[in-house]
């Protein structure tokens, strides 16, 4: 049994994880952390990770970037693996995560969907073969309550493409004004509206032909299931920085 502390338990993803965990016989959510203490769950809720008095095997975070310092401090103090599913971290925070992974096991992914990470693996294999003859554009769509743009997943895919290409490439975030597209651009465009769970389109536009790779999340359950599988994967891991590629062995 993997005992989990769920941070952000009363948010949309936290509620989805709580519900999805019912179908994971090897997962037991033993405590939650949230600013909202409304509790319709079977586990106790605390307003701060440092108040938690319940032992756990893994801490799972789906909250906000500003919670990072407390999470790292708690996991370091208690030698507990940490699964980070939150997006929108600053460069300083990403450096801190990397440094702390020398002391504790940390799993971080911008997207917990297995399908998105398979797409990411495909892009790693094909981008260098296509970039000379195809313009590359990424379009991401999310609900109107999402606070960060572009999405962490769009940046994950864009960085994979950029890192896979031998030539120079730079990101272009949306377009405005009168100017032609530059050859070295990787365009990234964010759409926000309604209740869109998450869609990502990667377009390779060539002369007379287009290649499109698309992933659509139909419900939050896909991210919840991936996060819980990550918790199972991280139990008893040694210190280091892990991601979906490690879990899926891509």
Instruction: Just list the catalytic residues.
Output: 142, 146
In DSSP notation, 122-154 reads HHHHHHHHHTTT-EEEEEEEE-TT--SSS-HHH
174 φ/ψ sector (left φ>0, alpha ψ -120 to 50, else beta): left
- Contacts of 179-183 with CB under 8 Å at 24 or more apart are 181/135, 183/135
Residues 6+ apart with CB under 8 A from 116: 153, 156, 157, 200, 215, 217
Has 110 been labeled as part of a binding site? yes
Alpha-carbon distance of 4 to 17, in angstroms, equals: 11
Has 87 been labeled as part of a binding site? yes
Alpha-carbon distance of 49 to 138, in angstroms, equals: 36
Has 12 been labeled as part of a binding site? yes
Has 9 been labeled as part of a binding site? yes
Has 231 been labeled as part of a binding site? no
Has 160 been labeled as part of a binding site? no
Has 240 been labeled as part of a binding site? no
Has 34 been labeled as part of a binding site? yes
Has 103 been labeled as part of a binding site? no
Has 86 been labeled as part of a binding site? yes
Three-class secondary structure of residue 117 per DSSP: helix
Has 152 been labeled as part of a binding site? yes
Annotated binding-site members: 8-13, 34-35, 85-87, 109-112, 143, 152-153
Annotated binding-site members for NADP(+): 35
Annotated binding-site members for NAD(+): 8-13, 34, 85-87, 109-112
Annotated binding-site members for (S)-2,3,4,5-tetrahydrodipicolinate: 143, 152-153
């Amino acid at each position: 049994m993997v005992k989990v502390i769920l941070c952000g338990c009363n948010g949309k993803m936290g509620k989805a994880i709580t519900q999805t965990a019912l179908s994971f016989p090897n997962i037991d959510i033993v405590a939650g952390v949230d600013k909202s203490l409304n509790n319709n769950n079977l586990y106790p809720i605390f307003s701060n990770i440092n108040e938690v008095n319940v032992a756990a095997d893994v801490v799972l975070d789906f909250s906000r970037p500003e919670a990072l310092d407390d999470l790292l401090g708690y996991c370091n103090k208690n030698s507990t693996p940490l699964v980070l599913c939150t997006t929108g971290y600053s460069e300083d925070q990403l450096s801190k995560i990397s440094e702390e992974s020398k002391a504790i096991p940390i799993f971080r992914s911008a997207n917990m969907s297995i399908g998105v990470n398979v797409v990411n693996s495909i892009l790693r294999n094909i981008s260098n073969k296509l970039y000379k003859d195809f313009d590359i554009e990424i379009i991401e769509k999310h609900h109107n309550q999402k606070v960060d743009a572009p999405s962490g997943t769009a940046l994950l895919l864009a960085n994979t493409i950029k890192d896979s290409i031998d030539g120079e490439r730079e990101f272009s975030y949306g377009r405005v004004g009168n100017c032609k597209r530059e050859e070295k651009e990787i365009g990234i465009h964010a759409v926000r509206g309604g209740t869109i769970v998450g869609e990502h389109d990667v377009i390779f536009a060539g002369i007379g032909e287009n290649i499109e790779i698309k992933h659509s999340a139909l419900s939050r359950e896909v991210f919840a299931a991936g996060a819980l599988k990550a918790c199972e994967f991280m139990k008893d891991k040694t210190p280091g920085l892990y991601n979906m590629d490690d879990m899926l062995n891509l």
